Chains A and B, each alone.
Chain A
Amino acid sequence: MKNRRQFLKVAGLSTLGLAGGLALPGMARAAGLKDSYRSGQEALKGGHWGMVIDTRAFDSPEKFEAVISACHKYHNVPAINSKREVKWIWKDGYHQTFTDQKDNYPAKDVLERKYLMLCNHCVNPACVRVCPTQATFRRSDGIVVMDYHRCIGCRFCMAACPYGARSFNFEDPRNFLEDRELNVSFPTRMRGVVEKCTFCSELLAVGKAPLCVEASEGAIVFGDLDDPASDVRKVLAENFTIRRKPTLGTEPSVYYII
């Protein structure tokens, strides 16, 4: 009896010691790392990233295609041709994009034009407010991003987003990437998580502009809305612009020149 008790004591203490021994250095390392994450020298920094889309310049399907495929190829967005599609940036008609504009007689070219849609990176994002795990959050530079590893796939954010900017992986997206050249510098996703546009935060971190901006040949202007001298603020000062569903108070960071 005594022997067994002694054995248990020793075994218990050893396990505890072993576990502590393994965990402590790791914890110390993690504590040390906390302040060691810094953005790189070349990273673009902004107080509130925003975008202006000159919809007049998007006058052919090719121009849309260039922008959309640049984004979707780089981010390994699967092409699923069903109502369960995944899309980060896409195009649709005037009334579908600007649902508040109930005009009966819109100008012919305005009505015939297509419009780009993407995540609005709202100042007051409903998706962030409702997420039960903080898997989606707003960074200090205004970009709303996702942690694909924390998302539980409850899709509350999809119900909350008034812009339909979010897609859910109803099945393994990798099934749709098999016959395609993968971009290994950006992660693919797994089934059961929500995803959306990142404003190319991963490219801003290495000093590059978002892919849609690059591919648009000047039709999309990107910059820091907090900086009055920025390109984006200059374009806003010179043009009449509108935002999608402004009355909801979400404060989109994507502006449209009509």
Chain B
Amino acid sequence: MLEKVLKGRPSFYIWLAVLGAIITLGSLVYLYQVFVGLRITDLSRDVSWGFYIAQFTYMVGVAASAVMLVLPAYFHHYTKFKKMIILGEFLAIGACVVCMLFIFVDLGQPQRVLNVILHPTPNSVMFWDMVVLSGYLCLNLLIGWVTLEAERHQVEPPKWIKTFIYISVFWAFSIHTVTAFLYAGIPGRHYWLTAVMAARFLASAFCSGPALLLLLVFVVRRVTGFDPGRDAIRTLTKIIAYAMGINIFLFCLELFTAFYSQIPGHMHPLTALFSGHDGHALWINGWMWTAAVLAILSFLLMAFPGTRDNESLLPYTLGILVIATWIDKSLGMLWAGFTPNTFETMTPYAPSIAEILIGLGVYGVGALIVSVLWKIALDVKREAGTFSKPA
């Protein structure tokens, strides 16, 4: 099926070239980082993780979110999702690669990365994260390819693939739970030491991931005419609305525990996030308030059928939801884990230009993978006659 990539409109190749340029720029900056070290980032002794690990965390959620299509389709036989599932699975592949790359660019000694496999360490959550992420990547590659091949030949997918599909549902939950355990199990980082971390991660993933997927599908619909079907969009929007509601609810639980108990360690990171430190406002405060307002706004817009089913409004609703969850779960989450630091003081951190450029390069790789895979999937659908109007 790979030959589908070779036949396309010029605009497709221009898009790939743009991505290629972004990737090249990111690679060059990364090369510089390899030579001089991580001093080109704004990371420090006290804030030792930042932009890279934040993006990794967010994108694990996007990878896991394919399950929001797979689960209704295969556990509840909701067939209207079947048309879009392949796009969710292929998005998960791109997201998995992005996650792995963000871990890789964060390493001080990337050439030693295989030490994680050469010296497997079951008590390290990082080891398990590697296992579940690579496993999820393989599952989606296998499932995506086999089901698309079947669609191309216009036959039912082989029965054995269902076993893998069921496994992938549970696997999706595992990748984000394990990622939350990276943070939720370490002593002395007050903001992270919370039992609802994994639940919050999943709720955030199951609204932001499908929202991103829908946004990309809308772009594809405009560019190629692919129609996922109105009912599928409406059902997925409902799922997003519920997940966002749970996400906000879980965040409020954190607020209650911190501010009703009045335990300083629980309150400090939250007050620092929203109102700064020692009376000084910090750059992150504006971002966090933006996230809070956009989160509530996007939820309200999706809570009521009138605005939820308004298709011209929906892209904006989804857009602000993605921005809100991205701020909260990536930089906000990381920053607050290190603020205040282990000495109860504050070390400033804001991503450097180099970090952002390398990050863009990594996202470029993800976008390239998703573009190519979606092109293949959509061309197959066009040939099989499952492209425009829902059956």
A residues near B (Cβ < 8 Å) are 82-87, 92, 95-97, 99, 102, 126, 129-135, 150-156, 158-164, 167-172, 191-194, 245, 248-250
Q: Decide if B121 touches A134 in the complex (CB within 8 Å).
A: yes
Tell me the smallest distance from the CB of B128 to a CB of chain A, in Å. Answer: 9
Q: Report the bound CA distance from A191 to B49 in whole Å.
A: 16
CB of A187, distance to nearest CB on chain B (Å): 15
Contacts of A131 in B (CB 8 A): 121, 124
Q: Which residues of A contact B264 (CB under 8 A)?
A: 102
With a cutoff of 8 Å between Cβ atoms, the chain B residues found around residue A194 in the complex are 108
Residues of chain B with a CB closer than 8 A to A191's CB: 36-37, 108
User: 1/0 per position for B108-146, CB-CB distance to A under 8 A?
Assistant: 111011011011010111110010000000000000000
Closest to A194 in B: B108
Separation of A131 and B36 alpha carbons in the complex (Å): 24
B109 pairs with A193, CB closer than 8 A: yes
Give CA–CA (A132, B127) in the complex, Å. 5
Q: When chains A and B are docked, how far (Å) is the Cα of A97 from the Cα of B157? A: 62
Check if B159 is an interface residue, CB within 8 A of chain A.
no
Q: A83-B44, A95-B344, A164-B46 are in contact. Are A155 and B121 (CB under 8 A)?
A: no
Interface of A is mostly: loop
A70 to chain B, nearest CB (A): 22
> Is B390 at the interface (CB under 8 A from chain A)?
no
> Hey, what's the 0/1 contact readout for B309-345 against A, CB within 8 Å counting as 1?
0000000000000000000000000000110011111
7 CB contacts below 8 A, A to B, read A83-B44, A96-B343, A153-B38, A162-B188, A168-B45, A171-B39, A193-B108
CA distance A87 to B343 in the complex (A): 15
CB–CB B49/A159 < 8 A: yes
**How far is B130's CA from A161's CA once the two chains are assembled, in angstroms?**
22
What 5 new A-B contacts, CB under 8 Å, besides A82-B44, A150-B112, A170-B41?
Answer: A152-B110, A155-B48, A160-B186, A163-B342, A164-B341
Whether a CB of chain A sits under 8 angstroms from the CB of B214 is no
A84 and B39 in contact, given A126-B187, A192-B108, A249-B187 (Cβ under 8 angstroms): yes
Q: Is the CB of B106 within 8 A of A154?
A: yes
Residues of chain B having any CB pair with chain A under 8 Å: 36-39, 41, 43-46, 48-49, 103, 106-110, 112-113, 115-116, 118-119, 121, 123-127, 130, 182-183, 186-189, 264, 337-338, 341-345, 347
Which chain A residues border B344 with CB–CB below 8 Å?
A: 95-96, 99
In the complex, the answer to whether A171 meets B125 with C-beta atoms within 8 Å is: no
Interface centre among B112, B116, B189, B345 (most CB of A within 10 A): B112
By beta carbon, the residue of chain A nearest B103 is: A154
Cβ-defined contact, B125 with A162, below 8 A: no
Given A96-B343, A99-B343: A168 and B48 interface contact (C-beta under 8 Å): yes
Q: Is the CB of A164 within 8 A of B343?
A: yes
Picked from A102, A129, A159, A170, the residue with its CB within 8 Å of the CB of B39 is A170
In contact, A126 and B38 (Cβ under 8 angstroms):
no
- Least CB distance, A147 to chain B, in whole angstroms: 10
Closest B residue, CB atoms, query A157: B48
**Shortest 5 CB-CB contacts between residues of A and residues of B:** A153-B108, A162-B188, A192-B108, A132-B126, A83-B44
Q: Nearest Cβ in chain A — how far from B335, in angstroms?
A: 13
CB distance from B160 to the nearest CB of A (A): 33
Cβ–Cβ < 8 Å partners of A163 in chain B: 188, 342
Q: Are A130 and B188 in contact (CB under 8 A)?
A: no
Name the residue of chain A whose CB is nearest to the CB of B193: A248
Asked if A134 and B119 make an inter-chain contact with CB atoms under 8 angstroms apart, the answer reads yes
Are B126's CB and A130's CB within 8 A?
yes
Known contacts A152-B115, A172-B37: A158-B121 contact under CB 8 Å: no
Residues of A within 8 A of B36 (CB): 171-172, 191
Q: A96-B345, A152-B113, A248-B187 are in contact. Are A168 and B38 (CB under 8 A)?
A: yes
When chains A and B are docked, how far (Å) is the Cα of A191 from the Cα of B103?
17
Minimum Cβ distance to chain B for residue A88 (Å): 12
Nearest A residue (CB) for B124: A132
Q: Which residue among B39, B45, B264 has the maximum number of chain A CB atoms within 10 Å of its CB? A: B45
The answer to whether A132 and B109 touch (CB under 8 A), given A84-B45, A249-B187, is no
When distances are taken between beta carbons in the complex, the residues of chain B under 8 Å from A150 are 112, 115, 119
* Contact between chains at B187 and A152 (CB < 8 Å): no
Decide: B187 and A250 in contact? CB cutoff 8 A.
yes
Cα distance, A115 to B183, chains bound together (Å): 29
Contact B124 A153 (CB under 8 A): no
With both beta carbons as reference points, the residue of chain A lying nearest to B108 in the complex is identified as: A153
Are B37's CB and A133's CB within 8 A? no
**Known contacts A84-B45, A171-B37; is A164 also within 8 Å of B116 by CB?**
no
